[in-house]
């Protein structure tokens, strides 16, 4: 077994397991809403973008127009526009970069972005991403086949997503304790949730990004010495 696979399992295996369990939730949702079982691996393997897959199940059942599917995917996944800015893709070699971009999920980003890129190998990044995707796909397949009968009436399973983001946010704060980021993101999130409800993600993330751009401008002005022609 390659060393990079061992390292990836040791450092990210717990997240693989969470992806598997969360995938069960997606699979249960697919078959309990009346869609054929193979839609679960098709969504988890093809679209492979957590939250929008849950939304797509509802849209597919309603036979929503393709334009609605395109718009929903664009809005919910637009947060991915920011992930590429700090994901260590330069550590991945050759054509594997294409897979690495395809599999750049919230979890892959959260696991790789906060680490020192010099310590991340080609193999570590790819094994981590492949492990996450295979766990997610096999979870959704198990959920679709088995869970539809066993777990159909169990409530609260989707809290996995909430718990995962809470723990990842706390890790990100521990890595870089920055109160301005923490408070402004929370405030923009709450305002956007009050204004836009289900579609709050795009609004909150755009507003937060705009605020961070302003913050950068302000910091730059403050740290650059003001020219004093009279001095």
Partner 1 sequence: MPSTGYIFLAVGVALAITFLLRALPFILKNAIKDSPLLLALNSWMPLGIMVILVVYCLSMIDPADSRLAGAQVIATLVTVAVHLWKHNLFLSVLAGTGTCVALANGLLPALL
* Binders of partner 1 in range 51-80 (CB under 8 A): 52, 56, 59-61, 63-64, 66, 69-70, 73-74, 77-80
Q: How does DSSP assign 134-197, residue by residue?
A: HHHHHHHHHIIIIIHHHTTT--STTHHHHHHHHHHHHHHHHHS--HHHHHHHHHHHHHHHHHHG
Question: What is the rounded distance in angstroms from the CA atom of residue 140 to the CA atom of residue 35?
Answer: 13
Binding mask 212-231 for partner 1 (x = CB under 8 A): xx-xx--xx-----------
155 binds partner 1 (CB under 8 A): yes
Q: How many CB atoms lie within 10 A of CB 2?
A: 11
Residues 165-184 that bind partner 1 (CB under 8 A): 165-176, 178, 181-182, 184
Of 2 and 11, which CB lies nearer to partner 1 in the complex structure?
Answer: 11
208 binds partner 1 (CB under 8 A): yes
Of 99 and 121, which CB lies nearer to partner 1 in the complex structure?
Answer: 99
Q: Is 67 exposed, middle or buried (0-12, 13-18, 19+ CB in 10 A)?
A: exposed
Question: What is the rounded distance in angstroms from the CA atom of residue 220 to the CA atom of residue 85?
Answer: 20
5 binds partner 1 (CB under 8 A): no
Options 24, 26, 40, 110; binder of partner 1; rule CB under 8 A:
110
3 binds partner 1 (CB under 8 A): no
Options 8, 18, 24, 127; binder of partner 1; rule CB under 8 A:
18
């Amino acid at each position: 077994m390659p060393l990079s696979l061992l390292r990836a399992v040791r450092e990210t295996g717990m997240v693989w397991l969470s992806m598997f369990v969360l995938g069960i939730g997606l699979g249960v949702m697919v078959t309990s809403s009346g869609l054929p079982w193979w839609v679960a691996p098709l969504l988890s393997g093809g679209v492979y973008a957590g939250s929008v897959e849950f939304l797509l199940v509802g849209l597919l059942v309603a036979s929503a127009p393709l334009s609605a599917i395109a718009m929903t995917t664009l809005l919910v996944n637009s947060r991915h526009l920011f992930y590429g800015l700090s994901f260590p893709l330069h550590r991945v070699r050759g054509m594997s970069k294409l897979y690495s971009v395809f599999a750049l999920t919230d979890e892959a980003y959260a696991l790789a972005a906060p680490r020192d890129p010099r310590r991340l190998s080609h193999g570590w990044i790819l094994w981590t991403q492949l492990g996450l995707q295979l766990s997610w796909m096999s979870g959704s397949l198990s959920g679709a086949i088995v869970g539809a009968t066993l777990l159909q009436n169990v409530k609260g399973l989707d809290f996995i997503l909430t718990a995962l983001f809470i723990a990842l946010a706390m890790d990100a704060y521990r890595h870089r304790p920055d109160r301005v980021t923490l408070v402004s993101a929370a405030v923009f999130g709450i305002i956007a949730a009050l204004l836009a409800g289900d579609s709050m993600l795009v609004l909150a993330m755009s507003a937060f990004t705009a605020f961070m751009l302003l913050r950068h401008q302000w910091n730059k002005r403050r740290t650059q010495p003001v020219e004093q022609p009279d001095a």
